[in-house]
Amino acid sequence: APRAVCVGEGLVVLVAEPGPLEKSNTFHRTAGGAEANVARVFGQLGVDASWISRVGDDGFGRYLVGQLIAAGVDTSGVTLDHERPTGMYVKQRGSGSGDRHDLARRDSAMTYFRAGSAASALSPTDIDGNAANLVARTDLIHFTGITVAISDTAADLTRYLMDQPTLVSFDLNYRPALWKSRPDTATDVLGEHVRGSDVVFMGADEAALVFGTSDPAELREMFPQPHHLVIKNDAHIVTAFEGASRIDIPALKLDVVEKIGAGDAFAGGYLTGLLLGRSSVERVRFGHLCAAGALTGQDDIASVLPLTVLTQLAELADA
């Protein structure tokens, strides 16, 4: 099986019951963190996946590691931090349809409790022992703009990873809340990571915020470096560039329950297709099928991808 290493913070997710947070009495606990989400998708699709991170020596840290293991992910590269806690976020549910005026239909909101977390201490020194072996023999390294943003030492780590002689995958994942103390640096720092990676994912909306355009052709012109550049727009169309060739593929039609994490599921599917040597059309289809699993539940990704998705993936893999 192909090998992949995902590097970044895992977060315990507390999904609030619908309504304003001050009225929420109960929370559903689940697992999140963009790179951990991708690792769990890989694990479920049969990729030999590892997660490199830091977690606190606490119940939430043990829960996260357990969730990754349950999804078939190797966690031997995870460092236990005895000083700092595991990070967390609260998810206030919206359907993700993006309608800001209708409470039930607007995007979900994330509230972070992660400052000073174990994973914010990630640095190049975490790539030692097991983690160094994993990085040395992997086919693919994946991380996101979240890891770039959580601390200066974590950005040192992503720069170190970007220089490794293997396929490097980067998902822009622009989270304005993480750039609040230095908003004017996001464009440069994230742009540097886009240029330094081989496979890049971005949402058209976040590209507009960070790079000033959501137009795929303009983004390609701005970023000719990554061989694979994948842009997802609000009309649910994915534009995938592979070198100079371009395809535009619409997503599956479905009733969206909740959107956070769907991008991670898409990346997991797309990258699995890439690792299996599939065509760009098939890679986007893999991505859409995985995203469909995430979009139809309230968790970041589907814990077990629905049977229909797995069956379709298997058919694609056999084709």
Binding site for ligand KDG (CB under 6 A): 11, 32-34, 37, 89, 110, 146, 175, 260-261, 263-264, 300
Measured from the CB of residue 264, what is the shortest distance to ligand KDG in angstroms?
Answer: 5
CB atoms inside a 10 Å sphere around CB 19: 13
CB of 147 to ligand KDG, least distance (A): 9
The DSSP string of 93-108 is ---SS--SSSTTTSPP
- In the complex with ligand KDG, which residue's Cβ is closer, 32 or 293? 32
Active site residue 264: yes
DSSP code of 128? S
Closest distance to ligand KDG from the beta carbon of 178 (Å)? 7
Structure tokens at 19: 């309504």
Least Å distance, CB 151 to ligand KDG, is 13
- Residue number with CB closer to ligand KDG (11 or 118): 11
- Backbone region of residue 84 per phi and psi (left: phi > 0; alpha: psi in -120 to 50; beta: other values): beta
Spatial separation of the C-alpha atoms in residues 144 and 142, rounded to whole Å: 7
Which residue lies nearer to ligand KDG by CB, 96 or 196?
A: 96
Residue nearest to ligand KDG (CB): 32
Nearer to ligand KDG, 148 or 278 (CB): 148
Residue 300 CB, nearest distance to ligand KDG (Å)?
5
**Nearer CB in complex with ligand KDG: 101/180:** 180
CB neighbourhood size of 95 (10 A): 20
- Of 48, 74, 126, 264, the active-site residue reads 264
Q: Which residues contact 11 (CB under 8 A, 6 or more apart)?
A: 31, 32, 33, 36, 64, 86, 87, 88, 89, 112, 114
C-beta atoms surrounding 212 within 10 Å: 11
Q: What is the C-alpha separation between 143 and 130, in angstroms, rounded?
A: 18
List residues with catalytic annotation.
264
